[in-house]
Amino acid sequence: MSDDVLLDAEDRMEKAVEAFRNNLATVRTGRASTALIEHLPVAHYGQSMALNQLATLAAPEPHLLTVQPWDQGTMNSIMKAIQTSDLGINPSNDGRLIRLPVPPLTEQRRRELARQVHARAEEARVAVRNVRRHAVEELRKELRAGDLPEDEERHQLESVEKLTHQFGERIDELTKGKERELLEV
């Protein structure tokens, strides 16, 4: 039973790190990436949909994103969603294709984005610590129920701590990599 708690904790920590990795992909760097806009909410026909469900996204050049709506009726909704987002990109269209020139980042904006990355990293660390707390509670519950001897509980708690430390290091590595990517000119 206690092995199940450990496996569940590892699985949930892995998911927290993967969610953080996906979250980092949405942070804008100097290069154009479709991950910046693919989950941008677009209000159309009275409901909100992700941009990648309404159009084909591409990055044909390092400083250009293109959005080709499948339905030309969604063009204005997509344009409005991009303009109201916090991306700082001004779209232009030719009736069939929306072009998003990705301007180079200023030093101030790079620092601001680095702070955002650190805030998101802290959220991921909190998620990992919450998984640790849940696993520890489960192990203590098993100990109180008599399903787990004390020495085995101590060993399992050490394993949970090792997992927490290991996933915390992975979050730190991802954060440092994204920060390097942001601050390089």
Mean pLDDT of 88-93: 81
E-strand ranges in the chain read 41-44, 47-50, 55-61, 64-69, 92-93, 98-101
* Domain boundaries, given as residue ranges, for the chain: 2-25+106-183, 34-101
pLDDT at position 109 over 90? no
Q: In DSSP terms, which residues pair with 58 in a beta bridge? A: 66
pLDDT at 185: 60
pLDDT at 2: 65
Query: pLDDT of 160-183, one tens digit each?
Result: 999 999 999 999 999 999 888 887
pLDDT at 1: 58
Query: How close are the terminal C-alpha atoms of the chain, in Å?
Result: 52
Query: pLDDT of 116-166, one tens digit each?
Result: 899 999 999 999 999 999 999 998 888 888 887 888 888 888 999 999 999
What 3-state class would DSSP assign to 135? helix
pLDDT at 48: 85
52/64 Cα distance (integer angstroms)? 17
54/75 Cα distance (integer angstroms)? 9
**Domain with residues 2-25+106-183, CATH architecture:** Orthogonal Bundle (1.10)
Minimal CA–CA distance to 3: which of 182, 169, 160? 160
43/173 Cα distance (integer angstroms)? 36
Query: pLDDT of 13-65, one tens digit each?
Result: 999 999 999 888 777 676 777 777 778 888 877 788 888 888 888 888 878 88
pTM over 0.75: no
Measured at the CA of 105, the angle between CA 103 and CA 108, to 5 degrees, comes to 145
What's the CATH class of domain 34-101? alpha beta
pLDDT at position 67 over 90? no
pLDDT at 87: 73
Range 68-101 burial, b when 16+ CB lie within 10 A, else e: ebeeeebbebbbebbeeeebebebeeeeeebebe
82/86 Cα distance (integer angstroms)? 8
Q: What are the C-alpha distances in Å from 180 to residues 4, 34, 45, 54, 75?
A: 38, 20, 41, 33, 36
